[in-house]
Structures are given as C-alpha cells and as structure tokens.
Structure 1
Amino acid sequence: MPIIEDLTYIFQNAFESCGYDSSYGNVVESNMPEIQFQVNGALPLAKKLKMNPRVIANKIIDSLDDKLIFRELSIGGPGFINVNITDKYLVDNVNKLLKDVRIGCKKYKVQQKVIIDFGGPNVAKPMHVGHLRSSIIGDSLVRLFRFMGANVVSDVHLGDWGTQMGMLITELKGRSPELSYFDVEFSGDYLETSPVSIDDLEAMYPLANARCKADPNEMREALKATSELQAGRKGYLELWKHFVSISIQTLKNDFDLLGVKFDEWNGESTYHELIPEMINDLSEKGFVSKSKGLNVINVSEENIPPLILTKSDGSYLYSTTDLATIKDRVDSLNAELVLYVVDKRQALHFKQVFLAAKKTGISKETQLEHIAFGTVNGKDGKPFKTRSGGVMKLQDLIRMANQKALERLEEMGLGEQYSEDECVEIAKRVGLAALKFADLKNPRMTDYIFDLDSFMKFEGRTGPYLLYSAVRIKSILKKSNKLGLKPGKLIMPKTKEERELLIELTKLPDATLSAYKSREPSILCSFIYNLSQKINSFYAKNHILREEDDSQQESWLSVLELCLKQYELVLGILGITIPEKM
C-alpha cells in the first residue's frame, strides 16, 4: 500500500475513533521543507462543528501512538496536523517496492474492455502538426490503461468516406478521363496498382478543395461522385481502395516515426453499411423527427442543438457515422469504455453524439468520454505553422526535432566517442522525447507554445533532461557492475536528500492511479520530473562509487536500481525510450 494511502487509512480511523467523519482524515504531501505530510481536515471539520480546529487536531494526535510509523506529529498554524514518518517505516515501504514487479502499482478494473479512438488522419492528406497532440496523448493513454490492467483496443478511425473522396475522384477524372474507372460500361479488370501516388493525392486535394469552394458546379460534381461512391459504383470503389491503400501505408510510416501503433485501422467507411438499418430502427422507435427538411434526434438538453442524422438529400454526416460506430463498438466489441482523444473544439459535436447515443439506448451501459485537448500554437499565440504560413507536415516536424537534437548533443560534447550512426540514433530518441514530453507535461486541456529550442534544453522540465538523468543512472550501475559491486539491503537514510528521494519513490503508485483516473499523463510527467530533481540533489551530497562503507554503497545501488525501474516504467508509458548511452 502506498505511504499516503496507508497514512490516510490510519488518520481516517483516528478521526472515526474520535467521533468524527472519517473523510476528514485524508493525508496530503506537505509543501513545507521540514514537514513530509499534512492532514488538513481539522479546519473544515471545526468550521462545521463550530469548534477550535487546534482542539480537534490535538485530539487526533493524542489518539495516535505508533512510534514505528510516526517520528513526529505536531500542530501547525490554525490546526494543520504535521506528519513526519520514521526512517524504518519509510525503508520498509521502499523495500516493498523493490520486491514488487509492478513497483507497488495495483491493477485497476482488470480486463475492462476499453477502446481508445485517436489519431484520426484523413485519407489523401499528409499528417501535420495538428495530429501531434491526439497521437501523443492517445498513445500514452493506451500504454497507461494497459499497464493498469485494461483490455485495450486502439483505433485510428480514418477519415476515408467523406466529400474529400468525391473531390479526388472528380479531380482525377479531369486530369485523366481516359482511365477505365470513369467508364460506367467497363466490365474488365481494373489496374492492380494505383494510377496515382501519395504525392499525387497530396497535390490534388488542395487544388480540388479550392476549386469546389470557388465554384458551386464543381462542388455539385464532387458531391455527386461521393454519392455514387457510397452507393457502390464499381469504378469509383476501386479508385477509393487505391486511395485508401496508399494513404494507409504512408500514415503507418508517419506513426512509426512517433512510435505509435494501432490495433485497428478502421475508417468511417467501416460503418457505412450499418447506417440505413440504424436509422430505420431509430425511426420506428420514434427517436427521429423532421426539422427544416433534416432528419434529427432531439437530445433533450437545454442549449444543445439536435443531432443531424441525414441532410435533406439523404446524405450522412460525421455525427451519423459516429453514432453507427458507437453502436458497432457496443454490440460487436462489447466495449465498456470508449475514449475519443480529439481537439477540445469538437466538444459540442461529442456532447450531441453521446447524448443521442444514451437517449436512444445505442450506448447501453457503455461509458463514452471525450478526452479533449488544447492546441499547439506558435510564438504568436496562433496555431503553429511553417515560416511561409503553411501547416507543417508531421514528417518535417520530426525531422526538424531530430536535427535540433543532434546539434544540441554536439554543442554539449555528448556522443563524441560514438559513431555517426550511433549519434543519429541517440538524436532520434532525444528529439522524440523532447516533442512528447513538451506536449504531455501540460494538462491536456491547455494550449501550449511550440518552441523547439526550449524543448531541447538539457535542464528544466524537458524530455532531454529526463533522458540524461536516466542514462546517468544506467552509467553508474554499469560502472558498479564492472567493479564487482552489487546492490544490497536498504539501510536507514543518513541525509535529508536521501530521505526525500526515498519518499519520492513511494509516490509512483499514487501518480499512476491518479493519471489513470483523470486521463492525465501530465501527472506522470510531474512525478518523473520531481523524481529527477530529488535524484540530482542526492548525487550532490552522496558519492556512490567512492563510498567506503560497503553496506551504505550497496544500499544506494539498490535505490538507484529502483529509480531506473521507475524511469523505465513512467517514460515507457509516456512513449519515450531511454537510450543506453548519451
């Protein structure tokens, strides 16, 4: 049991034994340098009972007499209970972490079926900086939920079935009308290879989109092509398959650069055939009504507009597809929880869809959550773009980060003894750590400024700083092994810095559970950064490899082993890989 959880249990029992509500006995970390923990419940309890909070605090302290746990209990200020624990109690708890393969972290809701929907790129469009947050946050949540025991399915949910497909079809028809895909009477075999490359698609889409926006006739042709595609026109379906196939391969390459994998590569098209039956069923049950020629579901909540199922021409919207997706995930996959990791600007859309799914019974008992996040902005406070004003491709962003990492490593004289290939590989890990930690360290609802120079620093709250700290531990443990030194039994801490490090190590279980419950990887970022700070303070006062006391040296090596395990776990959940050397 984590120390804070254990202490909370003790103090809640103390409050209850004194005749008070046990909920006032929660223990928290202290922000005072000489105090380790605090119990603040006496103040609100005293206000409720109209008593002096110091009287209540003193009564609680008098009821506790466990000298194996408490080194000092005192009253601070108007009635805070200050708690300092004994070194023996602390070491006993750290020893439990050393012996536990999960480092004290319990599984939670084991085997719960969870679907995490993130990434969401579109076919024929390159991934750009706007996909960064969904990919990084979503991947971290997948890793966190799996660690906590959930049965997770990750789904990219491609945008592969909308009007952009019709735009691409009409654009290609204008360029190459002789292709058999456009001949409605063609009955032969279509080409096995795509008539266009991914570069062609990426060039075609913005031109087609601009043309459709400027010319209503062009838009009508694109909508007609989209309708015929969705109705099953053979030539258009074959073209669409080519578009999707070459796009997915490129997208997989992009996600590989981020270290992100998916279990499913479903798209909007996956659920298209489910929609007519779903709408008929909802209509028969009386959930569908007409509004200005549209088929809608009134979600029955003030200030929330109805969810549109079909437009006046019978075509579907994203909301229709999302509702069908929920139905399939509930009925076919037996999902108990579905997380949608999508920009906070889509909050209204998801509120409509979730309310409609609940009202109609489509979601049954399944919990649906929008994991919203803020935007990545430039130094001007606006969404991040290239110097020329365009949206930066994800590949270019990662390439830029890798190059900046290589420059920083050279500036610091790191990697001078390594080959060029080794330096490039280390730079890739440092660059990716810089991007991921810069994103995840922020509470996900906040916007943040993209500043690669700041991200790439080897000091402060950065990915490179954490990697350097972890590699330093690896280096010490390797050197100790070569010297024949082995980790041994933990002994009582002799310095304030060592004591604070041990306390920090006991906080991991709380950090993982808190991050899981709040869907906030930033909590793990704060934990691992604070741990790094404590480790570096510990180094400054204790010289491990030069220590002459064997038992002390063996104890410190055990502490470092535990530190490394926690680094590997937390950074792994954040999607960051520690290099062997730097």
Structure 2
Amino acid sequence: MKKILDLMEGQLRAAFSACGYDETFAKVVLSNRPDLCEYQCNGSMAAAKAYRKKPIDIANGVVEQLGDGQGMFSMVQAVMPGFINLKLSGQFLADYMKGMAAGEKLGLEKPEKPETIIVDYGGANVAKPLHVGHLRAAVIGESIKRLGNFLGHHMIGDVHLGDWGLQMGLIIEELRDRKPELVYFDESYTGEYPEEAPFTIGELEEIYPAASAKSKEDEAFKERAHQATLKLQNGYAPFRAIWNHIIRVSVTDLKKNYSNLNVTFDLWKGESDAEPYIPKLINLLTEKGLAYESQGALVVDVAEETDTKEIPPCLVRKSDGAALYATSDLGTIIQREEDFHPDRYIYVVDKRQDMHFVQVFRVAKKAGIVEQDVPMIFLGFGTMNGKDGKPFKTREGGVMRLERLISDIDEAVYQRIMESERRSMTEEEARAASTIIGLAALKYGDLSNQASKDYIFDVERFSSFEGNTGPYILYTIVRIKSILNKYREDGGQVDETAETKVILPPAGETEKALMLLLTRYSEVLENSFAETAPHKICQYVFELANAFNSFYHETKILSEGDEARKDSYIGLITLARRVLEACIDVLGFEAPDRM
C-alpha cells in the first residue's frame, strides 16, 4: 500500500508535468501551518527560478490542472507568494483507513531489496553484572533490530561480549589466591577438568572487582594477571577451562537479565571469537602496505584530506605484540563478512567511542574488508544522568545494577496503581501489571530522547500515567481495549481487518485529525529506520495517543444512535489500537489488558 505522501505527490507530479514543469518540483510535505492546511507543496518557489516566472502564477496553473486530484483533496489552494495548500477529502481518508486495516502489516510496503544488517549492541563484559550503563545500548539496539525485522530486513543482533582482555587474567589469578587447591593450578594434573564451575555467578561478580582493586596496589599481582591473560590467549588448557566456566556462568546470567528487558540477541559472540581472524587481518594490512611500524607498534593511517579535525592513526598492534580493541573489532568485521556479508552495519555504542569507530571503519574500507558502498553507521548514544545532571548512581554513589533499576521503576508504577482512586485490581494483579508497565516506562523514557543526547532519568516522571510517558501510551491502548470489550458485551462484533466493516468519512475535526495521524504510520516507521531514530516513533505514538484521546472525549462512541456511524467509530479505533500496538512492539514493550 503506497504511503499517503507518495499518493499525493503522484497527483502533483502529473499536474506539474501537464503544465510543462519538471515533476521533481511536486514534493509534498506536512504543513507547518495546520490552521491553514494539512499538507503543502512549495515547489512553485523553486520552479519560479528555473522557469523565470512568478511563483504564484506557477502555483495557480498547477492548482487549476490538479482540480480535486481525482477525489483525493477537499481543498487545493494557491496562496501568496506561491504555496499550494492541500486538505485531504473525508472519503479518501476513510478509504485509506480501510486499506490500512485490511493490508498486511497495516499497509506497510515490503522493501524493494531486503538487506542483511548487523546490529552490534549490548557490549556487556563477562563476569560483571549488567548496570545502568548497559541500558541504552540494549534498549536502542533492540528497537532498531525489531524495526528492521518488521520492515522486512534480515536483522542480526550481536551482543559482542567483552571476554578476552586483562579481566580474564585478573579473575584467574584472584581465583588462584582464593582456591589454590583447584586442579587448574596443579601443573602436574593431566586429567579431565570438572564440568561444574568452581564459582557461582555471585562469587564471580565479587571476584573481579576485588582482583581489579588488588591490581592497582600490587604490581606483582598485576604482572601475574598479565601473564595469565597471555597464557589464556595462547591456548593454555587449564586457563581455557576456567575461561569456559566464566563464559557459561556469565552468559546464563546475562541472558536472564537481558530477558527482563525484553532484549534478545541472535549472536552471543565475543572478542575471543575474533582472535582466529587477527593473523589474517595483520597479514592483509601489511601486504597492502597500509600498516607500518611506529615506535614498535603497528599502525594504519586513516586521516583524509576532507577531515575538519585531526584523526590519529589506528593502532592495530601494540609494541609487545598484544591486540587492542581496534584489532578485535576489525577481526570481528572479517568474521561477519565471511559469515553474513552484510549490506549494512549499525553499531550502538556510547558516543564517546566515536573516534575509535571512525578509525575502525576507515581501516575496514581502506583494506577492502568491507566494500566502499556498504554503510557502516555509528549510532553513538548519550549518558543517562540523575537529577543532579551527573551519570546515574545509587544513593551510596556506586554504579546501579540494572536489575535494581528495573525493580525501582516497577515499584514506582505499583505504588501509582495502588494509590489510584479508580483502582480495580487486587495487589497481585497490580504487581503483574506493574512489571509490564514498568518496562514501558523504562524503555519509553529512554527511547523518547534522541539517542545522541544525554537525558535525565526521572523515575517519578517516567512512571506517570500522564504526559509523554510509556504508561500514558499504554493507558490509551487499554482505554481502546475497554471500549471494544464493552462493544462486544453489547452484542457488537469487532472486525480486526475491517474487510466487512465500513469506515465512514470523518464526522468531526478530531476524528479527521485521528485519521490523518494514522495515515503517517508507514512513513514514520520507514523514516525512523532510515535515520536510525527510534525517538521519532515515540513522538508519533504520543501524538497518536493524544489524537485518539481528543476524539474519545469529544465523541460518544458507544452511545451513538446511528449504528453505521457507531460501527465506523469501532473500525477506526480498532485500527488506532493496532497501529499503537505495532509501534510499541517495535519499541520493545507491550500493553496489559487492564490498568
């Protein structure tokens, strides 16, 4: 089903062409003066320069040729100095609503060429709990992956675990100090290593910070950890066995915690998976003459003449032969090219890593690892701050665990439900609902902000049932569900596809406003994906929820005496509910049946 803008532009292109003007001037945009019109075409202004005519003369000619656009428009008007103002007809809108309701994915068109797209998000470290710093990558990345899948692309989400650096050596040596009797530290041991890990997730999460703190005070311990890391990376069997335990225990816990966020990954790869590709990377860079030695290290120049700031060389191997993050990321790209040959890459990472990814992407392109026309997008996100404007912390000043943050917002939602004068839930029902609503509050609170910007995390505001919040969006959906349930109880039938239900032209302004917003559904989803901007979907669902609530407050839906009109209302609000549910599913949360 064609987007509403494409249909309008089709009519305008024909009119411009019939008047002897290039049809590229027929671009239609949403009006910035909704008090005057719904859409507008400003092409006459640009055409005036090309054809040396007055803009208003061009606009008048196009308007005369356009007429009502075969019933599409209720108003077509040329105004000074040369704008063409447009309003859609009620019948056209009603027919478009019915087409959306009956169409697959509400009329969303399949992409002409579906792409295979890697989304690198998550970035958790093994042996460490997820904390608030992991929230944005997970939530933003998940929404982009879901949106791409919904549009018809093949999205591959990779958690890209941190599992191969010095932290592994620190854990191994701390474990040696605590449990020297373990067989992994007996050099004479030749048997099979135990299947059960010598630590729980709780112990593991305590071991790493203790080891990290010790390494800052004890140089000998730090050197032991460094040597242990090298032995692990060189394949030393006892340390590989410990490492496998760390991975299994950590990934099991990470999957549980990501699941609480309704976040999933297609790949659970880590930095360690890039290790076999690093020799190939170094050989490639050397053979192509891109890598050279600088103070004993191996570097690649990536600066370009068009740069407006200094771009340092990319360091791909340290002087002691150790790999770095850039080495690992480039090795991972080689692996992804061999396994998937993606059409696009999207990295969802803290914006402070911008320079790192500029360097990595340029090396990948210069070396021919990735073809020049393949987009490599760095979606850098800002910081989640507390009310004091500083990075979000616990009251004690530490980094808050993600599961505690989720618990806090669930509790805030639960308290709001219990304090509501209209509460009809038991405590048990309120607890169950607060988990669903709390996730919406958390995700919407994050996603409604432009990814690159810092924002204030405010539990009180995010959990509010009013304003631009997740709970408000859910409350709107639940309100529609309630109306539809009452309609069914009164003997009415709700047709989800509207194939047998007639949707009439709007009877009032709020009904037309709701229809106009519903027509923008496909455009919003496609643009949000093209711009990797999930906040635009949040903006849309907020406007749509407001439009529905304005219509609801003005319209006696269930007590409407005209049965055909009532049926039309039901068809329209059913479509509104389906659009809202499709959008929040892409954002990564759902609505309860009651609130």
Flag as ranges the 4+ runs of structure 1 deviating above 4 A.
47-51
Correspondence list, 1:292-331, <5 A: 292-301=295-304, 302=307, 303-331=310-338
Partner of 1:484: 491
Partner of 1:266: 269
Correspondence list, 1:11-90, <5 A: 11-30=12-31, 31-46=33-48, 51-66=53-68, 68-90=71-93
Q: Deviations along 1:238-295, whole A, 9 cap, x unmatched?
A: 1111111111111111101101111111111112122123312332332221011101
1:508 to 509, 518, 521: 521
Partner of 2:110: 107
State the AA in 2 paired with 1:402.
D
Partner of 1:456: 463
Partner of 1:397: 405
Correspondence list, 1:135-534, <5 A: 135-301=138-304, 302=307, 303-364=310-371, 366-413=374-421, 416-487=423-494, 488-534=501-547
Distance (whole Å) between structure 1 residues aligned to residue 548 and residue 456 of structure 2: 29
Distance (whole Å) between structure 2 residues aligned to residue 277 and residue 46 of structure 1: 58
State the AA in 1 paired with 2:377.
E
Distance (whole Å) between structure 2 residues aligned to residue 44 and residue 408 of structure 1: 54
Alignment of 1:10 onto 2:15: no
Query: Does the CA-based 8 Å contact 2:418-2:427 persist in structure 1?
Result: no
**1:109 positional shift:** 4.6
Query: Does the CA-based 8 Å contact 1:433-1:463 persist in structure 2?
Result: yes
More deviation, 456-465/111-120: 111-120
**1:34 positional shift:** 4.3
Any idea what SS the aligned residue of 1:536 has? helix
Distance (whole Å) between structure 1 residues aligned to residue 362 and residue 412 of structure 2: 46
Any idea what SS the aligned residue of 1:102 has? helix
Q: Deviations along 1:464-514, whole A, 9 cap, x unmatched?
A: 000000011111111111111135311121111111111111110111111
Distance (whole Å) between structure 2 residues aligned to residue 277 and residue 88 of structure 1: 63
Any idea what SS the aligned residue of 2:376 has? strand
Distance (whole Å) between structure 1 residues aligned to residue 481 and residue 199 of structure 2: 49
Distance (whole Å) between structure 2 residues aligned to residue 494 and residue 450 of structure 1: 42
Q: RMSD across aligned C-alpha pairs, in angstroms?
A: 1.7
Any idea what SS the aligned residue of 1:103 has? helix
More deviation, 19-28/120-129: 19-28
1:219/1:554 CA distance change after superposition, 3 Å? same
**1:397 positional shift:** 0.2
**1:173 positional shift:** 1.6
Partner of 2:585: 572
More deviation, 448-457/24-33: 24-33
Query: Does the CA-based 8 Å contact 2:463-2:471 persist in structure 1?
Result: yes
State the AA in 1 paired with 2:201.
I
Correspondence list, 1:542-557, <5 A: 542-557=555-570
Aligned length: 581
Query: Does the CA-based 8 Å contact 1:124-1:202 persist in structure 2?
Result: yes
Distance (whole Å) between structure 2 residues aligned to residue 93 and residue 307 of structure 1: 53
1:11/1:216 CA distance change after superposition, 3 Å? farther
State the AA in 2 paired with 1:35.
C
**1:48 positional shift:** 5.9
Query: Does the CA-based 8 Å contact 1:109-1:149 persist in structure 2?
Result: no
Distance (whole Å) between structure 2 residues aligned to residue 579 and residue 53 of structure 1: 53
1:46/1:212 CA distance change after superposition, 3 Å? farther
**1:50 positional shift:** 5.8
Distance (whole Å) between structure 2 residues aligned to residue 286 and residue 202 of structure 1: 44
1:563 to 560, 563, 576: 576
Distance (whole Å) between structure 2 residues aligned to residue 16 and residue 137 of structure 1: 43
**1:366 positional shift:** 3.9
Q: Deviations along 1:372-406, whole A, 9 cap, x unmatched?
A: 21111111222111111111100000000110010
Any idea what SS the aligned residue of 2:66 has? coil
Query: Does the CA-based 8 Å contact 2:78-2:85 persist in structure 1?
Result: yes
**1:13 positional shift:** 3.1
Distance (whole Å) between structure 1 residues aligned to residue 484 and residue 514 of structure 2: 17
State the AA in 1 paired with 2:393.
K
Distance (whole Å) between structure 2 residues aligned to residue 252 and residue 540 of structure 1: 44
Any idea what SS the aligned residue of 2:106 has? coil
**1:567 positional shift:** 1.3
Partner of 2:497: none
State the AA in 2 paired with 1:515.
S
Distance (whole Å) between structure 2 residues aligned to residue 264 and residue 569 of structure 1: 25
Query: Does the CA-based 8 Å contact 2:447-2:535 persist in structure 1?
Result: yes
**1:141 positional shift:** 0.8
Q: Deviations along 1:57-84, whole A, 9 cap, x unmatched?
A: 2222122123612211223453321111
Q: Deviations along 1:136-187, whole A, 9 cap, x unmatched?
A: 1111111100011111221111100011111111111222222221223321
**1:300 positional shift:** 4.0
Segments of 5+ residues of structure 1 without an aligned counterpart are: none
State the AA in 1 paired with 2:480.
I
**1:91 positional shift:** 1.3
More deviation, 157-166/203-212: 203-212
Query: Does the CA-based 8 Å contact 1:402-1:430 persist in structure 2?
Result: yes
Distance (whole Å) between structure 2 residues aligned to residue 490 and residue 37 of structure 1: 23
Any idea what SS the aligned residue of 1:289 has? strand
State the AA in 1 paired with 2:220.
N
Any idea what SS the aligned residue of 2:84 has? strand
Q: Deviations along 1:88-107, whole A, 9 cap, x unmatched?
A: 11112112112112112112
Distance (whole Å) between structure 2 residues aligned to residue 77 and residue 443 of structure 1: 36
Distance (whole Å) between structure 2 residues aligned to residue 109 and residue 350 of structure 1: 30
Distance (whole Å) between structure 2 residues aligned to residue 47 and residue 177 of structure 1: 83
Query: Does the CA-based 8 Å contact 2:284-2:367 persist in structure 1?
Result: no
1:116 to 95, 110, 119: 119
Any idea what SS the aligned residue of 1:63 has? helix
